């Protein structure tokens, strides 16, 4: 199938919807880290080791696609794969230049629909402006178009800005998001709630939108929901919970609990809510970083969980193990990764299986 723009229809009108992250993937997408404004040269060496560990755990269950800027990174990745005895043939390297590694936010999101002849996949190509023009973004926005061209799938163009970390879906019609991000004037001029809901319904195939309003200290995304609350099955949500009243995040995180309690699932019932503890405050150069266990990534056979050398690492792991009984839980040391103000979910993007 050759790529083509479906410009006269919305995904929902054609039966497409965004599946939940725990549904089967064909691929995971990554962008190889390289930005020295995000991580120092020494930190980048550690970040590359983190990427190798991520790939080692995901590659057993799905293909890996990696965006690279040039041949230098191709040679580096091949060398690293040989060193770790990984099969480079199981990875697709794409020479698509990017500004940074946050493919969840600047990459496309994938949709599915069920037809008599089988499952079909399409792509929504949202626009990206680096979380409200905070950093350079031109290469990242162009990269999304190149990914769409590479996957050779039909695609939709809503014509507005939306980052992948700003939404989370349960695959049954419900979507978690935040007003602080989606209604922000630095994206799309600050649209009304009703207007943004129409975009979400039309282009994600959802009909039940749960609006939260919270921002972790140090989060330059203006409150991405993948740091705050996530679906772990169609009827259950885990959410970040801070019990220390003296913590700067205490009130912000308390503010998301009430709308979660009021939310109803696709069957008209309240969601089961499970609090995830927060790690202790992590600072870099006296700047508080937005560390959160909610920023996990669900692979086909594993769940990659952030770890911060914190007493709550084990508690978060145990909670998520109960949420995903059929998957291996793997801790990924994210103390260096979080220096870039992002986490495991931010650097990954799933492509659903046919």
Residue 90 has pLDDT above 90, yes or no: no
6 in any annotated domain: no
CATH number for the domain including 89?
Answer: 3.75.10.10
CA dihedral 164, 169, 175, 181 (to 10 degrees): -20
305 in any annotated domain: yes
Rounded CA separation 214/251 (Å): 9
Band of the pLDDT at 7, cuts 50, 70, 90? Answer: low
Mean pLDDT for the chain overall: 96
pLDDT at 3: 61
Residue 195 is inside which H or E element, if any?
helix 193-204
Give the domain range for residue 223. Answer: 12-352
Rounded CA separation 292/289 (Å): 9
Chain segment 308-329, per-residue pLDDT in tens: 999 999 999 999 999 999 999 9
86 in any annotated domain: yes
Mean pLDDT of 95-99: 97
Catalytic residue positions?
Answer: 346
Band of the pLDDT at 6, cuts 50, 70, 90? Answer: confident
Proportion of the chain above pLDDT 70, given as a percent: 99
Q: How many domains does the chain have?
A: 1
183 in any annotated domain: yes
7 in any annotated domain: no
Mean pLDDT of 231-239: 98
Mean pLDDT of 31-43: 96
Band of the pLDDT at 266, cuts 50, 70, 90? Answer: confident
184 in any annotated domain: yes
Residue 88 has pLDDT above 80, yes or no: yes
54 in any annotated domain: yes
107 neighbors 349 (Cβ within 8 angstroms): yes
Rounded CA separation 228/291 (Å): 10
3 in any annotated domain: no
Residue 1 has pLDDT above 60, yes or no: no
């Amino acid at each position: 199938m050759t790529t083509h723009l479906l410009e006269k229809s919305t995904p929902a009108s054609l039966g497409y919807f965004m599946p939940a992250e725990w549904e089967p993937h064909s691929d995971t997408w990554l962008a190889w880290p390289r930005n020295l404004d995000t991580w120092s040269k020494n930190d980048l060496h550690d970040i590359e080791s983190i990427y190798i560990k991520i790939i080692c755990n995901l590659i057993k269950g799905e293909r890996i696609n990696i965006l690279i800027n040039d041949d230098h990174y191709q040679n580096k990745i091949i060398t690293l794969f040989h060193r770790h005895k990984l099969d480079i043939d199981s990875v697709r390297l794409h020479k698509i230049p990017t500004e940074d590694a946050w493919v969840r936010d600047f990459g496309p999101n994938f949709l599915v629909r069920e037809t008599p002849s089988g499952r079909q996949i399409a792509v929504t190509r949202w626009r990206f402006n680096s979380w409200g023009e905070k950093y350079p973004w031109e290469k990242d926005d162009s990269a999304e178009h190149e990914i769409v061209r590479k996957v050779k799938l039909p695609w939709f163009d809503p014509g507005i800005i939306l980052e992948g970390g700003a939404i989370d879906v349960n695959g049954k019609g419900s979507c978690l998001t935040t007003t602080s991000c989606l209604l922000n004037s630095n994206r799309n001029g600050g649209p009304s709630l009703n207007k943004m809901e129409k975009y979400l319904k039309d282009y994600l195939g959802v009909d039940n939108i749960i609006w939260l309003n919270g921002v972790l200290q140090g989060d330059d995304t203006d409150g991405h929901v993948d740091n705050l609350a996530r679906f772990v099955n169609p009827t259950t949500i885990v959410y970040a919970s801070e019990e220390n009243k003296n913590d700067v995040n205490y009130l912000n995180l308390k503010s998301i609990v009430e709308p979660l309690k009021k939310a109803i699932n696709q069957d008209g019932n309240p969601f089961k809510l499970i609090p995830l503890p927060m790690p202790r405050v992590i600072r870099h150069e006296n700047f508080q970083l937005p560390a959160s266990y909610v920023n996990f990534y669900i692979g086909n056979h594993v769940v990659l969980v952030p770890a911060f050398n914190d007493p709550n690492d084990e508690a978060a792991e145990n909670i998520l193990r109960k949420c995903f009984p059929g998957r291996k839980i793997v801790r990924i040391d994210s103390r260096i990764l979080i220096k870039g103000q992002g986490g495991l979910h931010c650097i990954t993007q799933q492509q659903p299986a046919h």
